[in-house]
Chains A and B, each alone.
Chain A
Amino acid sequence: MPSPDLYNGSEKMKLNKNYILRTVAGSDVVVAVGEEANKLRGMITLNETGAFIWRCLEQELDIDQTVEKMKQEYTGVDDERLRKEIGIFLDKLREQGILQD
């Protein structure tokens, strides 16, 4: 299990283009297309924070920028906790092959 603090703040994260996040009926769902559709037949549901981080990745923000954006959205949460949460989420995406190296 990689530790969340392996992520460097200025590291650029790239989402695999074959995964799409959409809000459908109030749920943030991720579905796969193309070759990835064989790996993810159904869908993944993201929670609010996950969807927020995903949308930062879509805008090609690095971790420092994502943390800044989250601080505006979720006031009163410290940097360290945000970095940890982002790290855990990125680890999950990487495990699924959704983040491209």
Chain B
Amino acid sequence: MLISAAGLIVDIEPEYDMLLSRLLPFRCDKSTKADIVIHLGKEFFLQKQKKLSHLTAEECEYIYTGEAFYRELIMHDGFLLHASAVALDGEAFLFSARSGTGKSTHTHLWLDYFKDRAKIINDDKPAIRLIDGKIFACGTPWSGKTDESINEQIPLKAIAYIIRSKENHISKATPQNAIKHILDQTLRPNGRDSMQKLLTLLDKLLSNISVFELHCDISEEAVRVAYGGMAD
């Protein structure tokens, strides 16, 4: 089947229901040439599952098709950021951190605080993509444990790297720290060419978008501090 995600047409054949259900909101009815083809085959997932016995074959399909998508994305001016992405008044705010820090907790505080003005774009693995010179945060069928992801591309306003703290404050990351945070929370390219592509993209990203370090707890004040720093 064909899907459209992050502005790209993807040709992908789901074997199991989990992936299928995540793909359906992204289904594309036009018959057009695909930008990315992901045909890994059932045998591949069964082999993976043998090695990763804590996962089911359908989970393996979901994880490895996602990895294939994000590896290809680099060749199309985009990359994965391990983050929870929230849209507010039509602009995207991304919160990145190591697993277990509370990315999703923070963006859900935004939903509570801003109500109908805010919505989740992708709760765990948004694509960031340069389209016609502008940078967008995009929902994709791959969003980690939850299915909170929408089929939209929303102009990216800012990225914050979350550090858990008892006090709430936000500051701009130095360019070195911004690069380090992003490289830590993306799918690192293995090859020279794809790494070059990613670094070129990061250079463009960082000349247009600010990256912050957000020290926060899980209060309403955390939302006000984050928004106050990032929306300027």
State the Cβ distance, B202 to closest chain A Cβ, in Å. 5
Rounded to whole angstroms, the CA-CA distance of A24 and B175 in the bound complex is: 8
Which residues of chain B have C-beta atoms less than 8 A from A43's C-beta?
Answer: 179-180, 183
Q: Does A17 contact B (CB under 8 A)?
A: yes
Q: Does B195 contact A (CB under 8 A)?
A: yes
Give chain A interface residues in 4-26, CB to chain B under 8 Å.
17-18, 20, 22-26
Which residues of chain B have C-beta atoms less than 8 A from A17's C-beta?
Answer: 192
- Interface-located stretch among A31-39, A48-56, A57-65: A31-39
Give chain B interface residues in 184-232, CB to chain A under 8 Å.
184, 188-192, 195-196, 199-200, 202-203, 206-207
Cross-chain contact B196 with A20 (CB below 8 angstroms): yes
Most buried by B among A23, A24, A29, A31: A24
Cross-chain contact B192 with A29 (CB below 8 angstroms): no
Given contacts A22-B199, A23-B203, A24-B202, contact A29 B188 (CB under 8 A): no
Cross-chain contact A24 with B179 (CB below 8 angstroms): yes
Cross-chain contact B175 with A22 (CB below 8 angstroms): no
Cross-chain contact B202 with A25 (CB below 8 angstroms): yes
Cross-chain contact A33 with B190 (CB below 8 angstroms): yes
Could you say which interface size class chain A belongs to?
A: 10 to 19
State the Cβ distance, B177 to closest chain A Cβ, in Å. 10
Most buried by B among A17, A25, A27, A43: A25
Given contacts A31-B183, A42-B180, A42-B184, contact A20 B190 (CB under 8 A): no
Number of interface residues of B (CB under 8 A): 20
Rounded to whole angstroms, the CA-CA distance of A76 and B153 in the bound complex is: 54
Cross-chain contact A33 with B183 (CB below 8 angstroms): no
Given contacts A33-B190, A34-B190, contact A25 B196 (CB under 8 A): no
Which residues of chain A have C-beta atoms less than 8 A from B188's C-beta?
Answer: 37
State the Cβ distance, B165 to closest chain A Cβ, in Å. 22
Given contacts A29-B179, A42-B184, A43-B183, contact A24 B195 (CB under 8 A): no
State the Cβ distance, A58 to closest chain B Cβ, in Å. 13
Q: Does B31 contact A (CB under 8 A)?
A: no
Choice from B175, B183, B191 contacting A25 with Cβ under 8 Å: B175
Cross-chain contact B191 with A33 (CB below 8 angstroms): yes
Which residues of chain A have C-beta atoms less than 8 A from B176's C-beta?
Answer: 27, 29, 45
Q: Does B178 contact A (CB under 8 A)?
A: yes
Rounded to whole angstroms, the CA-CA distance of A37 and B189 in the bound complex is: 9
Cross-chain contact A25 with B192 (CB below 8 angstroms): no
Rounded to whole angstroms, the CA-CA distance of A20 and B193 in the bound complex is: 10
B203 to chain A: closest residue by CB: A24
Cross-chain contact B180 with A25 (CB below 8 angstroms): no
Rounded to whole angstroms, the CA-CA distance of A26 and B204 in the bound complex is: 11
Can you name 5 A-B pairs with beta carbons within 8 Å? A17-B192, A25-B203, A27-B179, A34-B192, A45-B176
Taking Cβ atoms with an 8 Å cutoff, the residues of B that contact A are 175-176, 178-180, 183-184, 188-192, 195-196, 199-200, 202-203, 206-207
